[in-house]
Amino acid sequence: MNTATNSIKKEDRWQTMGFFDEVLFVVYTERKDSIRIISARVAEPFERRIYYGSSEIHGWQRVNP
């Protein structure tokens, strides 16, 4: 997972991937006792390679350092 801070609302946004019929790339935030999904999409080919561990890219980089 990766996190980036939304500069407008000062909230952490997390990125993760998971499998539900296909590999999905999901961005979400945690608010009090709930999780809000900001976006979810089918993962790009290079992201699927990362998910399945067949890429030289390991881990994540922060989106907004």
The mean pLDDT value for 17-27 works out to 93
The CA distances from residue 26 to 6, 16, 57, in Å, are 16, 5, 18
The mean pLDDT value for 20-43 works out to 93
Reported pTM: 0.69
Task: Please give the pLDDT value at position 35.
Answer: 92
- Percentage, residues of the chain above pLDDT 70: 69
* 8 Cα distance to chain centroid: 19
Read off the pLDDT of residues 35-65 as tens digits, 9 standing for 90 and up.
Answer: 999 999 999 998 898 888 876 665 555 444 4
